[in-house]
Amino acid sequence: MCGLLGLLTPDGSARTHESRVLDAMGCQRHRGPDEVGTWVDDDLAFGFNRLSIIDIAHSHQPLRWGPPESPDRYALTFNGEIYNYVELRAELRAGFDAEFRTEGDGEPIVVSFHHWGPAAVRRLRGMFAFAIWDTVERTLFVARDPFGIKPLYMASGPGGTAFASEKKSITELAGVLDVDTSLDARALQHYVTLQYVPEDETLTRGVRRLESGCHATLSPGTAPVIERYFEPTFPVAPIADGDAERRYEEIAVALEDSVAKHMRADVTVGSFLSGGIDSTAIAALARRHNENLLTFTTGFEREGYSEVDVAAESAAAIGVEHIVKVVSPEEFAAAIPEIIWYLDEPVADPALVPLYFVAREARKHVKVVLSGEGADELFGGYTIYKEPLSLAPFEKVPGGLRRALGRVSARIPEGTRGKSLLHRGSMTLEDRYYGNARSFSEDQVRSVLTDYRAEWGHQDVTGPIYERSRGWDPVARMQHLDLFTWLRGDILVKADRMTMANSLELRVPFLDREVYEVASRLPYTEKVAHGTTKYALRKALERIVPAHVLHRKKLGFPVPTRHWLAGPELHDWARAQVLASGTDEFVDKAAVMRMLDEHRRGESDHSRRIWTMLCFMIWHGIFVEGRITPDIEQRDYPVRL
């Protein structure tokens, strides 16, 4: 787990920018405090911050490799982990008599690319963002893992193309690139609607993200040619009931194998543990490979907003040592500017804060943690996935009549039983579902943004994704959408940024290509069935997780922002943030203040909407106004724990 940065120039001037690249790497030191490395030639400057996990004494980056006739042909920078690197080495030695100079997981990427070309990315089992420079062909190849676990930002202008693990490093080079760094109003509207900025956008016009499952090829002076090499699909043919037990066994075997490979490291590996089935399953399987496994959780002192007790019960049941971090309201508020600085883009998910604190606690003890992200998207874990079952009768109603039902529902008073069902049933899946973070209605978005555009609604983001899943069952379409929106826009962003803020590597065994393969073959009746979600996964884990967790509702890290924003803990703090913000060009601050007042009086629960606007205002204060300067602590950790 590391931070990479590269600058490809169009005019052979890369060597003159080496010091600029080195300076730009400083703002992502937290991603790799163990080593700093650079490499340049006429066209390309590479920078790298290393967090040493595998082959600590060697595998330094930027890494050079080549065949015997050209031993330093390639240069690699690589962020992530390749979990099948041992198997890849054996395959490359057997098939090509390949020679290796290290014992790490980065070198097999270069060797694979040399022999298989761009198709090599399909053989990698892991999380990654990497760049390979071919000094002979003078071409650059960059790629990102199938699900978007690791980030990769890119920007191109007259001065060249830059790519990096964090946007801050690219904006440090904006003057060299000559790219537009003004705020993207379209991306802002998408953020307010979704509570995150969807890929490939960022709030900075001239900077974009290479999407998950994509790679790009470019040469000096050319624009990147981007291709998608992986797209998760879920179209499933009917499967006989007699195959169910076999499917449960396949899930258990694939997950156990994934956890085993995710435990590969030359440093200590721990595990996050909440009160839910996903993290408990990962911790229980990890315990089989490390009987001294440490697990970590976080919570709040307020009743109903802590999974600490359940997590402790789970830890005792699976036989692991458990460490808890309790977050106070004062710690919560004080950490927000620092957290948003680490994020690069605002993500209005309050669970970021406890995740940041539990990662900081974990880093005192371990250098790598496992976590349960991705299980809900792959196995059908969100309660909203049951909605198509309740709305199935509406699918038989002709379109014109369904729209009429929608008009009828609009006239029914708020709070009337059946109004919501009628309203949702009158809409198509494409109209009503755009992910888990649905805090703002379109009217509410219009009320807070000064430059609202109807054409920038949620379908601007979700429409092209839905087009690719026509003909699938509705649950599969919702999963597919969430993999391209919610998972990579919120879940994986907070997982990567909050752990890397603490120089901690986070690994997600559910988001493994072999686990995905078995999940993709499940019919929807194995996802939302018998009144529960993730039905097949729960059946597969019956012999792995404790009984008290098996059918427990997912909570994650619940955060009491609703109470705090209405009370003394955060209300005055929130008002001060709004009043000080210089976002008048984009936001109707009076509308935000009205939401705060209504929320405090208990007239409406605006907590998620308020939090969305606060995160943007603080982001703007840091990165646009320069009004807020977070205190970024430079921590030093030992290489081996």
Q: Where are the beta strands (DSSP E) in 148-203?
A: 153-157, 160-164
Q: How far is CA 407 from the centre of its chain?
A: 38
Residue positions annotated with a catalytic role? 2
Q: Are strands 214-218 and 225-228 parallel, antiparallel or unpaired?
A: antiparallel
CATH class, range 2-228: alpha beta
Give the pLDDT confidence of 541-589 residue by residue, as tens digits: 999 998 888 877 665 567 889 999 999 999 999 999 999 999 999 999 9
pLDDT tens string 26-45: 999 999 999 999 999 999 99
Q: Token match 């309740």: residue?
A: 390
User: What mean pLDDT is predicted for residues 109-117?
Assistant: 98
Predicted confidence (pLDDT) per residue in 592-637, tens digit: 999 999 999 999 999 999 999 999 999 999 999 999 999 887 776 6
pLDDT in tens, 333-390: 999 999 999 999 999 999 999 999 999 999 999 999 999 999 999 999 999 999 988 8
Domain boundaries, the chain: 2-228, 391-428
Query: Is the peptide bond prior to 62 cis by the omega test (within 30 degrees of 0)?
Result: yes
Q: What is the pLDDT of residue 638?
A: 54
The β-bridge relationship of strands 294-300 and 269-272 is: parallel
Distance CA 355, CA 362 (A): 10
Do the annotations mark residue 182 as ligand-binding?
no
| Per-residue pLDDT tens digits for 303-345 | 666 678 888 888 999 999 999 999 988 999 999 999 999 999 9
Residues near 169 by beta carbon (within 8 Å), at least 6 away in sequence: 3, 5, 24, 25, 27, 28, 47, 153, 162
Query: In the predicted model, what is the mean pLDDT of residues 503-515?
Result: 97
Calculate Rg over the CA atoms of the chain: 24
Q: Please, is 271 exposed, middle or buried when counting C-beta atoms within 10 Å of its C-beta (0-12, 13-18, 19+)?
A: buried
The dihedral through the CA atoms of 415, 421, 426, 428 has a sign that is positive
70 is in an annotated binding site: no
Confidence of residue 241 (pLDDT cuts 50, 70, 90): low
The whole-model pTM stands at 0.95
Average pLDDT over residues 42-68: 94
329-343 and 607-623 helices cross at what angle (nearest 10)?
A: 50
Q: Give just the sign of the alpha carbon dihedral 341, 345, 351, 355.
A: negative
> In sequence order, what DSSP letters do the residues of 465-534 get, joined into one string?
HHHTTTTS-HHHHHHHHHHHTHIIIIIHHHHHHHHHTTT-EEE-TTS-HHHHHHHTT--GGGTSBTTBSS
Ligand-binding site membership of 105 (annotated): yes
CB 191 within 8 A of CB 347: no
Element (H, E) at 461: helix 459-467
